[in-house]
Amino acid sequence: MAKSATKKKTVKQPDLFEAPSRSAKAPKSAKRTPAARPAPKASARTKTAARGSSAEAGYTAKHIEVLEGLEPVRRRPGMYIGGTDEKALHHLFAEVIDNSMDEALAGHASWIEVDMEADGFVSITDNGRGIPVDAHPKFKNKSALEVIMCTLHAGGKFDSKVYETSGGLHGVGVSVANALSERMEVEVARDQKLYKMAFERGKPKGKLENAGRAPNRRGTKIRFRPDPQIFGNDAAFDPERVFKMARSKAYLYGGVEIRWRCDKALLKGSEIPEKAVFHFAEGLKDYLASNLEGATLVHPDIFTGAAGKTGKHGAVEWAIAWTADADGFLQSYCNTIPTPDGGTHESGLRTALLRGLKDHAARVNMEKRAAAVTSEDVMVGSGCMLSVYIREPEFQGQTKDRLATAAAQKIVEQAIKDPFDHWLSGNPVQANKLLEFVIERAEDRLRRRQEKDIARKSAVRKLRLPGKLADCSNSASQGSEIFIVEGDSAGGSAKQARDRRTQAILPLRGKILNVASAGKDKLAQNAQLADLIQALGCGTGAHFHEKDLRYEKVIIMTDADVDGAHIASLLITFFYRQMPKLIDLGRLYLAVPPLFRLQHGGKIAYARNDAHKAQLLKSDFNANAKVEVSRFKGLGEMMAAQLKETTMDPSKRTLLKVTLAEADVKATARSVERLMGNKAEARFEFIQENAEFAKEETLDV
């Protein structure tokens, strides 16, 4: 027995990855055992090998795809334009007009024409050098035009020989626009000849065509329409958005003239002109002045200037003003490309302004008071426009929303610092006023940080994300009101339309939590409701204190459609369950935004719903009048002036006070539980009982 045991210990254990040897001898103990154990193990290995072979057969060389041409763009558009939403759709226009702007900045084009057609096509024309049409040396059977339009990473902007600075970097912009267009038509006028070529979904429809002589023409025209297979059947360019994008190019470079034309059919209910020509010699100063029209400036002058030659590497242009009664903003550009997410050039601007103000504080013996000032304090209430030109800039992503070039910070800081010092020294009285304004902002910030209890301004600090509170300047509850709006788009329009002295804006992201069906844990963890409670400052439930309520009126302002009504219902349910005393005190209201805009000639009226629209058409307009009727998509689509006139101006608006009749307290409680509670069968029962009363036009199907 001992001998047998010794032999078992010395038996070599099989390697998991080693094939069993046929010549290997089994141990004696195995020979004496009729039912040998190794057989099942061999069977298991066989089954495992069989399964492995089957899995490997499902993943072989034939499963490896190689996408060629523009197919990667159509398969993964988000990688190139950030998605397939409205912003991505308009990015196609930006890519095309940026090429024309590069020609203008290089000194080869003096005008750019933008034309929007009723059939969804948009065309961009310039009088630059024109895209090359001769045969490409690497692709002998293709013109340079075809290579540029159909090949990723093909272009003339990889070095500085053709363009010293440019918005294009990777040679993918216009080819991406071509790939994602249902049809694109290109006309090139070079050497007094006109060439044409058409593409559909990125593929050429024939070779380059010589269309004959064109002695009085030069440049490039690109006409295209986005592909509904990519962006959806309802996808179309927004005239207002394209108009603003085109106009901004004229502001950014005074050496180019932008010519605008849009089909009248696309402008119904819009204030955008059918034709316009833009040329701004003062550039960013004109742009900023138009944005701050009507605002009260802390310093009466706009700080504006330029360093270097526009379009050349290292050139910087800026325009900055500080407002006492408006929210601040900063719009920055690199090589005329908008950078909404900022970047290193914005960091250089902030540093230059902060250092300049602190140096001025030292000169006027206010260094101690200004010690706590940060760049954020300097930027509060400031309206800034910044444009920088960098050779071969680095952006984060193809959509170029953020500049990452490290050298840009130093370029901007050095360009602005000395002129800012001279600007402050040139008018010391106004400079001191600006310094006092910034120091007050810093002291307010520090005071809010130190306050233990919720005070008037604490919510501004605590509600930065996701729903940023734009507070009013009135420090008393009496006379102040807060508008609770849905989404950042509506919040942006409301901030522009509000009376900054008495009206605060709190945007919430989409539909909030249904508190009637949620538990206490979910309620406590919900960030949007926490932001709302924090902003009001009065507490909830048994901890509600009227004296701590920081606004006289709490106004729910949502879109005038079914989704807006749903969000309003969720908010009312929240206040009914968590702050019922707010309703009892008569402090909760519903705004009544219009759904329709009616116009005939110079006469304009707004209707709340279809019934109100029919009433206005009969009472306010002649029976034979051809009234233009436009429907608002939402608060975010309304112009700020329209939103103010119809919904926010206390002298013109209509508010609905939310009340609870004493006789209906129990019935209301049952209805809220039935419709908003967690029992779906109760809602289904309600629908069955009341279906016969529903009108077809009121259903959202």
User: Active-site residues: which are they?
Assistant: 486, 559, 561, 563
Contacts of 651 (CB under 8 A, 6+ apart): none
Task: Give alpha helix (H) positions in 333-427.
Answer: 344-363, 375-379, 407-426
SS3 of residue 605 by DSSP: strand
**Antiparallel, parallel or unpaired: β 257-262 and 111-116:** parallel
Asked if residue 378 lies in contact with residue 350, where contact means CB atoms within 8 angstroms, the answer is yes
**Residue recorded with tokens 């963890």:** 525
- In Å, the largest CA–CA distance within the chain is 117
Among candidate residues 645, 620, 621, 642, the one with its CA nearest the CA of residue 633: 642
Contact 266, 297 (CB under 8 A): no
Radius of gyration for the alpha carbons in the chain, expressed in angstroms and rounded: 34
Name residues whose C-beta falls within 8 Å of residue 665's C-beta, 6 or more positions apart in sequence: none
CA distance 591 to 180: 41
Residues 63 and 184: their CA atoms lie apart, in Å, by 33
Residue 506 sits at the vertex; the CA angle it makes with 502 and 508, to the nearest 5 degrees, is 160
CA distance 61 to 63: 5
Query: What are the structure tokens assigned to 437, written together?
Result: 């304004």
CA distance 10 to 628: 98
CA pair distance 171, 152, nearest whole angstrom: 6
Which pair of structure tokens corresponds to residue 530?
């926490």
* Three-state secondary structure readout of 412-435: HHHHHHHHHHHHHHHCHHHHHHHH
Round to whole Å and give the CA distance between 211 and 627: 45
Q: Where are the beta strands (DSSP E) in 134-291?
A: 181-190, 193-200, 203-204, 209-213, 219-226, 257-262, 275-278
What are phi and psi for residue 347, nearest 5 degrees? -60, -40
Q: Are 298 and 324 in contact (CB under 8 A)?
A: yes
Q: How far is it, in rounded angstroms, from Cα 318 to Cα 415? A: 10
If DSSP codes are grouped into helix, strand and coil, which group holds residue 391?
coil
| Ramachandran quadrant class, 584 (left: phi over 0; alpha: psi -120 to 50; beta: rest) | alpha
Phi-psi region of 14 (alpha: psi -120 to 50; beta: other; left: phi over 0): beta
* DSSP 8-state code for residue 106: T
Nearest to 157 by CA among 184, 142, 175, 141: 175
Structure tokens at 622: 């002649």
Helices (H), 391-500: 407-426, 428-450, 458-462, 487-497
The answer for residues whose C-beta is within 8 angstroms of residue 155's C-beta and 6 or more apart is 148, 168, 170, 171, 173
